[in-house]
Amino acid sequence: MSSIPDLLTNYSTKLTAENLRVVKVYLAKELGATPRDSDILAGYRELVAKGVWEKDIAIERLLTTRAVRTLSGVTPFAVMTKPYVCPGMCTFCPLELGMPKSYLSDEPAAARAKKLGFDPRLQISSRLTQLVDTGHDTDKIELIVIGGTFGNYPTAYKRQFFKDMIDTVNGSESASLEEAQIKNETAPRRIVGMSVETRPDWIDEAEVRLFRELGVTKVQVGVQAFDEKILARIKRGHSLQKVADATRLLKDAGIKVCYHFMPNLPGSTPKKDLDMARLMYTDPRFKPDFVKIYPAQVIPGTEMHREWERGEYTPYSDELLKDVLKKISLVTPPTVRVDRLVRDISKKWVAAGTRATNMRQYVEAELKKEGKVCRCIRCREIHGRTSTGTPHLVDRKMATFGGTEHLLTYESKGSLFSLLRLRLPDSDSTLFPELGGAALIRELHTYGKTVPHDQKGSRDTQHHGLGKRLMIAAERRARAAGYKKIAVISSIGTREYYRHLGYSREGYYMCKRLV
């Protein structure tokens, strides 16, 4: 039987975006079955590598599986730590044998991790292969470390886990974590973001220092509710003051903050959920950069399941939940990115509560039908849309616990091209000497299809100088506010970019004197 490259070569014309559907019909007839897009892509790439055809970006995109994965400018994927004791006693949290607490074995990333024995090297190798085979660029990687409460794992395990991840991305072994990080600064595949998830009561100064040693740039904080009575009822084990303290520690270190928020918990109501969302978004003690909204679901074996069985707790209907989520979407400010809306849990685990993993689609569709829009960052990202108009600079100023923040963006006609988070702290950092007297850049991100480092001439939104212009705008504001220095919480894979802008490494940050 002829191979796909042979069949493509023998076809009357070269494969193009216009004739792709016709070519697929031709291949199906010749092969006796419809080929996967990834198989056609592999055949197309083989012909490009041999010089038979020239590379066609349009074809690459059409054959890329789930192209939305890389439309925010980076290629993110999750890596799971091994099962370990969790200090929490939360009533809603599932505990499946052989899994980190709160995770179930048929969730996509969890299933892959369990199959590979929670080995970070195998997880990353497997995911990289899958992403490449399905047409995604993998030169800008965001690693999302998931699992149990991160702070409760042994420090030696955490250091080794991160070294193994970075070595695998680099494709070579290093003698130490620091050496692995330095190699990644100029590696073909660079790590442009690293996140972990933990509880607010496990975030202290020592833990924040370890975050920066490991290269962490974003922390997902399990808050769940912004009401002391609800926190007590679900046995969360921390107060709102602890959330505020943890948030300030993270922001003062330049780390981006993502809250996990759970509407529909025992003791809450639709009105209370909306009030808590408003508090989260407007109270200077909180104001996250990102949020994951996970409505409560009743999982067998949990204390919440026993409450539900006794009739002490009744979750919302899907219609009521959808209404709550629509209202929360409408109060979400343009400074926040809603990373997730509803958790991807298999229906078989859910005894009560929503089973609709695509609830976000319903929410967005109904808002659109009503002529309303969510203003969150994710909903405004340019993605793969063709841009119209020249983007202009927007400065959104916020008062936060411990400092003033500016969200600087380039936008045009409702589309968001690029953003920068600037923090002007009220006092010098006691955690890191290099941050003394410094303004902080906590995030710099240009959206659109991921563009490799060597494709500076691309017509996409990346590599068109918006990031550099935002950096200049941030430096001007920091200088005007009286700061003599500015520091960037650079990921290990973006240090070279900042060096080109006149920054140099000091400790865990890229710094520049403002003169």
The band of 459, judged by pLDDT with boundaries at 50, 70 and 90, is: very low
Domain ranges of the chain: 4-62, 67-198, 215-335+345-378, 392-513
| Whether the predicted pLDDT of 8 surpasses 90 | no
Q: What is the pLDDT of residues 194-224, one digit of tens each?
A: 999 999 999 999 999 999 999 999 999 999 9
CATH architecture of the domain with residue range 392-513: 3-Layer(aba) Sandwich (3.40)
Indicate the DSSP class of residue 299: -
The whole-angstrom separation of Cα 383 and Cα 195 is: 22
Beta bridge partners of 445: 419
More confident site: 9 or 269: 269
| Whether the predicted pLDDT of 454 surpasses 80 | no
Please give the angle made by the CA atoms of 359, 360 and 361, to the nearest 5 degrees: 90
Amino acid 450: pLDDT: 46
Amino acid 65: pLDDT: 59
Can you say how many angstroms the Cα of residue 337 is from the centroid of all Cα atoms in its chain? Answer: 9
The whole-angstrom separation of Cα 385 and Cα 460 is: 10
| Whether the predicted pLDDT of 71 surpasses 80 | no
Report CA dihedral (213, 214, 220, 222) to the nearest 10 degrees.
-80
CATH of domain 215-335+345-378: 3.30.750.200
More confident site: 75 or 383: 75
Q: What pTM did the predictor assign? A: 0.86
The whole-angstrom separation of Cα 471 and Cα 477 is: 10
Amino acid 64: pLDDT: 65
Amino acid 277: pLDDT: 98
Beta bridge partners of 418: 410, 446
More confident site: 211 or 101: 211
Check if the beta carbon of residue 78 is closer than 8 Å to that of residue 131: no
Amino acid 74: pLDDT: 81
- The contacts of residue 479 (CB under 8 Å, 6+ apart) are 514
Q: What is the pLDDT of residues 289-328, one digit of tens each?
A: 999 999 999 999 999 999 999 999 999 999 999 999 999 9
Q: What is the pLDDT of residues 334-357, one digit of tens each?
A: 999 999 999 888 888 999 999 998
Check if the beta carbon of residue 414 is closer than 8 Å to that of residue 101: no
* Least confidently predicted of 24-33, 121-130, 192-201: 24-33
User: How confident is the prediction for the chain on average, in pLDDT?
Assistant: 89
The single residue listed with the structure tokens 């490799």 is 452
Q: Which amino acid is at 482?
A: G
Amino acid 464: pLDDT: 67
| Residue 326 token pair | 């629509």
